[in-house]
Structure 1
Amino acid sequence: MRSANLNSDPSRLGSVEDVNGSSISVKLADSTPAGLLFVHGEAYRVGQVGGFVRIPSGYVDLYGVISQVGAGAAPGPPELATQFGNRWLKVELVGQGRRGTKFERGIAQYPSIGDSVHVVTESDLKTVYAPEDDDGYVAVGRVASAESIRAYLDINKLVTRHSAVVGSTGSGKSNAVANLLGAVSDRSRFQSARVVLFDLHGEYANAFGEQARVFRVGADPTLGERELYIPFWALTAEEFISMAMGSVTGTALVLLQEKLLSSKRASKPGGAPHGLPDLAVTVDTPLPFSVYQLWHDLYSLHCATHTVSKNQNQTQTTRAYLEDGVPPVKAVGDSEQLLRPRFRPITTEAGAEKIYGGLYGDLPRPHLDSLESKLRDPRMQFLFRPGPWSPDTDGTTAADLDALLESWVGADTPISVFDLSGIPTAVVDDLIGAVLRILYDAIFWGRMKPEGGRQRPLLVVLEEAHIYLSPQSKSRAATASRRIAKEGRKYGVGLMLVSQRPSEVDSTILSQCGTVISLRLTNDSDRSQVTSCASDNLKGLFSMLPVLRTGEALIVGEAVNMPIRAIIDRPPEGRRPESDDPLVVVPKGEDGERVRSGGWTESVQSENYKPLTEAWRKQDPTAG
């Protein structure tokens, strides 16, 4: 009688024949068709990798994901698989739900041998994927196997438990990121969202409209862009010295630290004394000082010439000798204009007055020259002349770091796009690391304040993460990212990695991502890296990654109730990143005419490379 009832259920696929931890082997019933199964007038594909099954077990329904189909899914050693036939499914258990209640991840009991296994119908999927609380979930697309059902992500776990968006070039990765960030920063729902996106190629400047503020070196105010300023004095001493002068050690490093400490103690951020006791100020305290005055002082100490008293039994007396015949203004130099002071040359002739070189000969001249060249480089002015945060010679600034942080992550717009396409490649790693460290330190130390991470979490998005987060990388970007990946959850700083080559991303960082959104991946090493981040019982799902459609993603991890194969919503026209493939052949419209100019199909009427050259020189693709 029981068998007759089971066979009369149109959703039944077969029965449980083997249980091995969270993996079970299912034998398809003889009556189960090999193609489509019809349940209440709806058609469902039988035995699709990534499909779901339901196993009633008492008052609980167990849910699982099909990871393998055919003879290889049969229990026992592979060499005996042919004896069992090929009508087998291997299923990974992922969660359970009591009749009429919400689905939950994890299982409290295992199925028994002979338990019936059923295809998951659309009504079952609605139970599984329906969010517990609409306020805590965002819809990012549609379930691929049932497109009437929306795919939801838990925003709490997506942001604070870290995430990764990976996919080969052309898989729809940039559009997926734009859609995700647009959803989590919807002002109608999340009025004080905070997202910082590091955009290495300038793809996202127009992707978010009024939802985003765009920071760029050489910003165009008519386009709504803001000038990118990163005050050098907000860096730690080690960061500043490394970026400005290279590796400095020994006596020279001690000299630099002494100069930095004395300058910071006398500084006036925002035009007012900092209010800290001298003993509380360290070389790493973010207080302003004039880097131009620092260069002038160091140059003078290194290059000034001196005389020594003739009475060698007395204490030596020294004084700087400015060059004869040079006007005083030019002789003493000008720190702001980077005019070097002029000194009398060292004497070597016998009988002449002895003039010696600088007392601080241990400070290598190449370090001074490096600092001077960086200060003269117009591409580095965002760092050394940071607008309202530029210190004068005594360390006084017009604005303090509170204004900087408000401009970066203030509530007036939810997304901040740091367009780094105009930054010199040599300093991009250090720059990203410095900004990450500034943001993290501010959020960390202010975590209990209303603007801190505990009250208002911050999401940091790292585009093209493989460029600066390789396993061998010791850059500041990699160091700061590892710190956020390991510690950020507790303090309200979430990380989202975006990469087309996950195999080139440090596994230490990638393994901390609680949610993985993987679009099509065709490279074996990339798939292996992503698969290694998934729990063991879900690794079979990643075999479908090479055949995902453009814009289709496999979402696994903490932000979803159970793994989702979803079609990510495409952002509306005008809100898409500039990542579409250029068209070699422009398609024709209904009238038979090309829908736009360009491509290889039409002749060039008047060729003019002058505007291209101007844009190249200005490092601005929008330059007229």
Structure 2
Amino acid sequence: MHDQNPALSARLPDRRDAEAAGNRLLGRVVACTGARATIAASSEAGSTTHAELWAVGRLVSIAVGRNRVVALAYAMQAATQEWSATDANAFRVEVELLGEVRVGADGSDLFSTGISRYPHLGAAVHRIRAGDLQRIYDPGTPDSCSIGRLTQDAAIDATIHIPSMLAKHFAIVGSTGVGKSTAATLLLRKAIEADPKLRVLILDPHNEFAAAFPDLAVVIDTDTLDLPFWLMRLEEFSEAVFRGRPPVAEELDVLRDLIPEAKRAFRGGDPGRRPADRGTITADTPVPYRMSDLIALIDERMGRLDGRDEKPALRALKVRLMSVVNDPRYQFMFSSNTIHDTILETITRIFRIPGGDRPICTFQLAGIPSEVVNSVASVLCRMAFEIGLWSEGAVHMLVVCEEAHRYVPADATLGFLPTRQAIARIAKEGRKYGVSLGIITQRPGELDQTILSQCSTVFAMRLANERDQEIIRSALPNSGASTVSFLSAIGNGEAIAFGEAISVPMRLTFERIEPHRLPTAHGLAARTAETTPETVDLRRIVSRMRSIAELDISDFQKSVLGSLPDEEPDLFAPPAPSSPMDAALEPYRPDMLPGTRLSAHPPETRLIRREWSPASGSSITSGSGSNERSPRDPFRPPREGWREE
């Protein structure tokens, strides 16, 4: 909503004296309802100066006694459907009533969203004063901060109330490439400045926020991640074990029965006994246990005489567990450190408690196996809520979900149920315990509307999809519903903000961020021709694709090897050492190609032909002989009806 003519705007003073140039009357009210009004205006003959003061998205002021009603222009149309370049032109402007600037007894002005007196027919419409714009968009609270400039008047700050934004969650929506991540970076920096005790956890599926907070964030990736498997609940753990596929009911029941036994064994109890306090430890209790104890319990159950029917399920479950543990991609779950009680260290590192000078944790999910990303997100969101719950609100935490429609899709049959429940619990109950939620998505139409409805502050950037625009329109208050019509045309870095943290819906341009603090995946945007390597290390790329790493499972290996039966293969044993000759590749042998002569004296084989004998009712051998293969085709099969012995 920048002025179309900056020079014109510069010479229009704020006062509207009769003698002042440019402060002429804009129009008159010719129709009015409870929420909208129609204004009749005209331009001078042969000039568009007056018409340029009108533009879709502009705010205007309607004089009603001593007060001034604020209205937003959202549509306009020439009265005759034509425009004359030499004569005067009449046109109609549709406006939406937003609120009222009231003049107090002491002469002070105060803006309110309510309207005490509606415009009458013939009421004068003027260009809005700069002072009124400041009163409208300034929340008037000490915790307010500027995040950009009003698009209508770049000289006025666009301010929001940070505590209100965090108290009831917020959302940033917009199409790809409009600047959602940059806007999130700006808002998070403003939030940290307003509340230094705030702890922020960013679920980063594109690994791009590490570059945005080099001085405020701790980066956790696949190389530094240590999230013990015993922190997962049964549903989350089964998601990793079954590689994202639906779990087998029989195997899931076995895990539900044996995991508590393995946890008691870790604490020093006898896993075979069932004490009276058996109910105090369940498969969901975050208590450490060893995978070796779990596999030993599975072996013990397979050895029982009364459990023959469940042996196939036990054997399949054992193979699944050993396969997951031996997978290098799951090193962050099954490293040697996971057999110790490291829950305090894990919470301190991930949730930044106390945090020191780095209150943000960017949790990079791009390198984590796709079949376990949902489980990891579920664990983190669930633990964030529980920390706020059991600390009685002493820890103010913000969980930011990038690409939130992946975790809480609108279709209830999609996504991972524990992740949906964990995020929904923060959205519905988190503000009671100091846990806030930040949602970032490019498809609000594919996001669970229950989650979006809990976000009281929304920053809507450019959206081209009609379905997405309809979702935002339903979330807007009635006084700003017309602003949705601008969503498909606003530029990059612009947004329409509305909700608890903003007095009235406003269109703003976000502040610019230094280039070295922009969110970029692996810092690609900051690279230049000088910094980009000329050669590519394909071996390193292939190694990362195969996730070849030094997997430290020595403690687990020692304890499991003794429990494995002799008849089953040792899946954890390293490959046998090869000789120096075996290490080299086998030399190229042309004689292995089809159509190449083999040795001078190929071995002879006996050919036996079996035929059916009606007399005996069985097959009989009808002959034998030599089957010397043709030198021209050494791989020719035997004659039909014959087989080799």
What TM-score, normalized by structure 2, do the two folds share?
A: 0.70
Q: Report deviation, 1:204.
A: 1.2
Q: Confirm or deny that 1:235 pairs with 2:232.
A: yes
> Deviation digits for residues 340-381 of structure 1, max 9, x if unmatched?
xxxxxxxxxxxxxxxxx8574373533332222111111112
Residues 288 and 341 in structure 2, CA contact (< 8 A), matched pair in contact too? no
Give the corresponding residue for 2:311.
361
Q: Is the 8 A contact 2:101 2:132 kept in 1?
A: no
Q: 1:404 corresponds to which residue?
A: 347
Write the letter of the residue equivalent to 2:40.
Answer: K
**Alpha-carbon separation, structure 2, partners of 1:175 and 1:241:** 36
Q: 1:256 to 1:466 in 2, by over 3 A?
A: closer
How many residues align? The count is 505
User: Does the 8 Å contact 1:229/1:386 carry over to 2?
Assistant: no
Q: CA deviation at 1:138?
A: 2.4
User: Matches of 1:292 and 1:68 in 2, distance apart?
Assistant: 71
Q: 15, 20, 39: which is aligned to 1:26? A: 39
Give the aligned partner of residue 123 of structure 2: 115
RMSD: 3.7
The Cα of 1:559 is off from its aligned counterpart by 1.6
Q: Deviations over 1:56-103 (max 9, x none)?
A: 43454332322222269x9xxxxxxxxxx9622222222333232443
CA distance in 1, matches of 2:35, 2:336: 57
Contact 1:503/1:525 (8 A) holds in 2: yes
Over residues 157-179 of structure 1, what are the superposed CA-to-partner deviations in whole Å (9 max), with x where a residue is unaligned?
Answer: 22222222122222222222211
Per the alignment, do residues 257 and 596 of structure 1 end up closer, same or farther by CA in structure 2, a change over 3 Å counting?
Answer: closer
- Partners in 2 of 1:129 and 1:409 — Cα distance? 34
From 104, 111, 121, the counterpart of 2:112: 104
Instruction: Please list the CA deviations of residues 469-510 of structure 1 after superposition, one character each: whole Å capped at 9, or x if unmatched.
Output: 321224133332233223323332222221223333233322
1:493-530 Cα distance to aligned partner (Å, 9 max, x none): 22222122333323332233222212222333333333
- Cα distance, 1:198 vs. partner? 0.9
In 1: Cα distance, 2:324 partner to 2:46 partner: 72
Pairing partner for 1:196 from 198, 201, 204: 201
- Note closer, same or farther for the CA distance 1:429–1:258 as it changes in structure 2 (3 Å cut): closer
| 1:313-352 mapped onto 2 (5 Å cutoff) | none
Query: Which structure has the bigger radius of gyration?
Result: 2
Confirm or deny: 8 A CA contact 1:103 1:561 kept in the other structure. Answer: no
Of residues 424, 428, 431, the one that matches 1:489 is: 431
**2:459 aligned partner, one-letter code:** I
Asked if the contact 1:96/1:106 (under 8 Å) is kept, the reply is yes
CA change 1:71–1:31 in 2 (3 A) is closer
Given residue 258 of structure 1, which amino acid in structure 2 is its aligned partner? D
Residue in 2 aligned with 1:450? 394
User: Which residue of the other structure, out of 378, 382, 391, is the alignment partner of 1:437?
Assistant: 382
Shift of residue 146, structure 1, vs aligned partner: 1.2
Q: Give the C-alpha shift of residue 407 in structure 1.
A: 4.0
1:66 to 50, 65, 73: 73
Per the alignment, residue 285 of structure 1 pairs with: 285
Shift of the alpha carbon at 1:36?
A: 4.4
Partner of 1:258: 257
Q: Secondary structure in 2 aligned to 1:541?
A: helix
Identity %: 30
Q: Gaps spanning 5+ residues in structure 1: where? A: 38-43, 75-84, 219-226, 270-275, 307-315, 317-356, 392-396, 587-594, 600-605
SS in 2 for 1:210: coil
Residue 546 of structure 1 deviates from its aligned partner by 2.5
Other-structure match for 1:178: 185
- Corresponding residue number in structure 2 for 1:617: 543
Whether contact under 8 Å (1:301, 1:359) holds in the other structure is: no
Contact 1:215–1:419 (CA under 8 A) maintained in structure 2 = yes
Note the alpha carbon deviations across 1:301-328, whole angstroms, 9 max, x for none.
23x376xxxxxxxxx9xxxxxxxxxxxx
Structure 2 unaligned residues grouped into runs of 5+: 1-15, 82-88, 269-275, 550-645
Does residue 1:129 correspond to 2:137, yes or no?
yes
| Structure of greater relative contact order (alpha carbons < 8 Å, 6+ residues apart) | 1
Any conservation in 1 of the 2:170–2:439 contact (CA below 8 Å)?
yes
What pairs up with 1:502-517 in 2 under 5 angstroms? 502-517=444-459
Q: Give the whole-Å Cα distance in 2 for the aligned partners of 1:499 and 1:228.
A: 25
CA distance in 1, matches of 2:472, 2:521: 23
SS at match of 2:196: coil
